[in-house]
Amino acid sequence: MSHGGNVIQELTADHREVEDLFARIDKLPPRDPGRKQLVDELTIELVRHSVAEEQYLYPAVREHVSGGDALADKEIADHARVEQLLKDLEGCEADDDHFDGLVSRLQAEVSEHVADEEQHLFVELTTSCSPDALHKLGEKVRTAKKTAPTRPHPSSPSTPPANKLLAPGVGLVDRVRDHIGGRGK
């Protein structure tokens, strides 16, 4: 699935990329160093995706969807659990005894979150927002992902305005660290 279009098309494309990364990880044998490299790629994608959702998708859900505050709060709580697993994985190598268990837990959390978003939240948003508003949200999400952090920061704010103010600076530091360390290539 290609990127572009409205917010739902953009985020669904991200979901398919994440599913593909999990499938690639699953194909490698336990303790294979390639698993860690793929988890680093997965982490980059998940963090960028989550930050963009927290900056633009969930505020739109709060504004436009009936019961949107509860929906957005649930999704942000899902993100917090995923981000903590990513942080735990950040300190592990593929041959670490905890690595595969953490990857399995991460995959389960992400799969449940994706299914919930695609089957419920996206449907609610589609029925409550105009096509033009959904397209504008897609543009904002794509822009946010370009400057978003690439590493988990569980203690960072997950709601506007603080997340919009801090994420680009944190993202810059993360991308410099990634470049120096060769992470995510």
pLDDT of residue 39: 97
| Tokens 């530091």 sit on residue | 173
Per the model's pLDDT, the better-predicted residue between 90 and 179 turns out to be 90
End-to-end CA separation in angstroms for the chain: 21
Segment 97-125 mean pLDDT: 97
Which residue, among 99, 103, 85, has the nearest Cα to 31 in the 3D structure? 99
Residue 1 has pLDDT above 60, yes or no: no
CB distance 106 to 47 below 8 Å: no
Segment 67-91 mean pLDDT: 95
Cα 136 from Cα 56, distance rounded (Å): 10
Q: What percent of the chain has a predicted confidence (pLDDT) above 90?
A: 77
What six digits make up the tokens of 116?
A: 């919930």
Q: Which fold has domain 7-181?
A: Four Helix Bundle (Hemerythrin (Met), subunit A) (1.20.120)
Amino acid letter, residue 73: D
pTM, rounded to two decimals: 0.92
Taking the domains of the chain in order of start, what are their residue ranges?
7-181
